[in-house]
Structure 1
Amino acid sequence: MRIRVLGAGFYGCSIALGLIADGHDVEVHESGGRIFNGASGNIPARLHLGAPHYPRSAATQRACQEHNAEFMERYGRFTRPVPINIYAVAADHSLIDFGTYRRILRDQIEFITLHDPAEFGLAFVEGGVMVGERHIVVDDARMHFAAQLAGAVKLNTPIGEVDSKDFDFTIDATFCANDGAGVDRYEPCLVVLLRGPTDKSVTIVDGPFPSLYVWNEDLGLSSLSSAKWTPFSKTCKTWREAKALLDGLSAADVERQAQFMISDMAGFYPAVRDLYQVEDYRLSIRAMPLSGADSRLVEVVKVGERALRVRAGKIDAVVQAERVIKDMIDG
Structure 2
Amino acid sequence: MISIAIIGGGWSGCHTALELANAGHHVTIIEKGSELFNGVSGQFGIRIHKGPHYPRSSGTRDSCRRTFESFCLKYPEIVVPVEPAIYALAGKDSMGRESKVDAETFGDVCRESKECLPVDIAHCWPGSELEVAYKLDEPCAVLNPYLKHYFREKLSSAGISIRLNDEVTGVRRVGDRYCISTSTRDGAWFGKVINATGYASALPDGLLSNLPIKLNIQYQACTALSYTDSTPGQSPISFIVMDGWFPCLMPCLSDPKKVGDYVLTHGAYTILGSYDTPAEAGACLSGLAPDFMEGQVRPKLEEQMERFWPGFTKRFHYTGWKGSVLPKMVTDTEFRSSVVFEADGVVYIFPGKISNVVDAAEEVFALIDGSEAKVIRTDGYGYARDSELSRSRKEIEMLPLAKDRNTCFLQTHRELCIKA
Answer whether TM exceeds 0.5 for this pair.
yes
Distance 1:319 1:106, change over 3 A: closer
Alpha-carbon displacement from aligned partner over 1:233-278 (angstroms, at most 9, x marks no partner): 13x0112221222222233233333443333323322333111223
Aligned partner of 1:195 among 228, 249, 262: 228
CA distance in 2 between counterparts of 1:304 and 1:258 reads 46
1:248 aligns with 2:253: no
Confirm or deny: 8 A CA contact 1:117 1:128 kept in the other structure.
no
1:135 aligns with 2:145: no
Please state how far the C-alpha of 1:122 moved relative to its aligned partner: 6.4
Report the equivalent of 1:15.
Answer: 16
CA distance in 1 between counterparts of 2:43 and 2:323 reads 6
Confirm or deny: 8 A CA contact 2:125 2:310 kept in the other structure.
no
Report the equivalent of 2:329.
Answer: 289
Confirm or deny: 8 A CA contact 2:49 2:138 kept in the other structure.
yes
Please state how far the C-alpha of 1:279 moved relative to its aligned partner: 2.9
1:320 aligns with 2:329: no
1:58 aligns with 2:64: no
* TM-score, structure 1 as length reference: 0.91
Distance 1:72 1:219, change over 3 A: closer
Aligned partner of 2:116 among 111, 124, 130: 111
Report the equivalent of 2:170.
Answer: 161
Please state how far the C-alpha of 1:109 moved relative to its aligned partner: 3.1
* TM-score, structure 2 as length reference: 0.73
Please state how far the C-alpha of 1:149 moved relative to its aligned partner: 2.6
CA distance in 2 between counterparts of 1:156 and 1:192 reads 28
Secondary structure, aligned partner of 2:101: coil
318-327 vs 157-166, greater mean Cα deviation? 157-166
Structure 2: give runs of 5+ residues left out of the alignment: 93-97, 173-177, 180-188, 209-214, 371-420
Matches within 5 A, 1:296-307: 296-305=336-345, 307=346
Aligned partner of 1:146 among 152, 164, 182: 152
Confirm or deny: 8 A CA contact 1:44 1:223 kept in the other structure.
no
Secondary structure, aligned partner of 1:263: helix
CA distance in 1 between counterparts of 2:64 and 2:10 reads 19
Q: Which runs of 4+ in 1 moved over 4 A?
A: none
13-22 vs 214-223, greater mean Cα deviation? 214-223
Bigger relative contact order (CA 8 A; separation at least 6): 1
Confirm or deny: 8 A CA contact 2:59 2:335 kept in the other structure.
yes
Distance 1:330 1:224, change over 3 A: same
Distance 1:32 1:117, change over 3 A: farther
Alpha carbon RMSD of aligned pairs, Å? Answer: 2.1
1:185 aligns with 2:218: yes
Alpha-carbon displacement from aligned partner over 1:2-46 (angstroms, at most 9, x marks no partner): 221111111111111222222222221111221110010111411
Matches within 5 A, 1:66-77: 66-77=66-77
CA distance in 2 between counterparts of 1:64 and 1:287 reads 19
What is the percentage of aligned positions where both structures have the same residue?
Answer: 27
Matches within 5 A, 1:242-281: 242-255=281-294, 256-281=296-321
Confirm or deny: 8 A CA contact 1:162 1:172 kept in the other structure.
no
Secondary structure, aligned partner of 1:244: helix
Equivalent pairs counted in the alignment come to 328
Confirm or deny: 8 A CA contact 2:45 2:354 kept in the other structure.
no
Please state how far the C-alpha of 1:147 moved relative to its aligned partner: 1.4
CA distance in 2 between counterparts of 1:117 and 1:295 reads 33
307-316 vs 117-126, greater mean Cα deviation? 117-126
CA distance in 2 between counterparts of 1:214 and 1:308 reads 33
1:98 aligns with 2:103: yes
